[in-house]
Amino acid sequence: MGSAKEELLDFPKDAIKSAGYQLHRLQIGNEPMDWKPINNLGKGITGVFEIRIWEYKATFRIAAVTKVADTVTVLHCWHKKTQKIEKHNKDMIVSRYKEIEG
């Protein structure tokens, strides 16, 4: 399994810049410009949200969670190709969420 950072660095350059800006907004206590909660990930998995990045006529996503003040954990980054979050992306989010929960 790779890392969310590696996934993010696979985005096009402008999408990486946009993602960095959105994550910075979170770090300073603001909401990202375009986001929504990700529900139905399983029992006990809460607080996960999807940051939406629109670049190059494509859609990129970052699944992140804020569990402790001043800490933003990026769980998964991907190029979204369908309306729903595909199963393999959900599985990755859940797996990494469980890792940080210990």
Beta bridge partners of 61: 52, 78
Taking only the tens place, the pLDDT of each residue in 61-89 is 999 987 655 688 999 999 988 888 999 99
* pLDDT score of 68: 58
pLDDT at 70: 65
What average pLDDT does the structure give for the chain? Answer: 90
Which residue range forms the structural domain that includes residue 10? 4-101
56 confidence band (pLDDT: 50, 70, 90)? confident
Has residue 9 got a pLDDT over 70?
yes
Given this model, what pLDDT does residue 50 score?
A: 94
Domain holding 60: CATH number? 3.30.2310
pTM: 0.89
Helices within the chain (DSSP H only): 4-9, 13-27, 87-101
Q: What per-residue string of b and e applies to 43-82 under the rule 16 or more CB within 10 Å gives b?
A: eebeebbbbbbebeeebbbbbbbeeeeeeebbbbbbbbee
Q: Please tell me the total count of domains within the chain.
A: 1
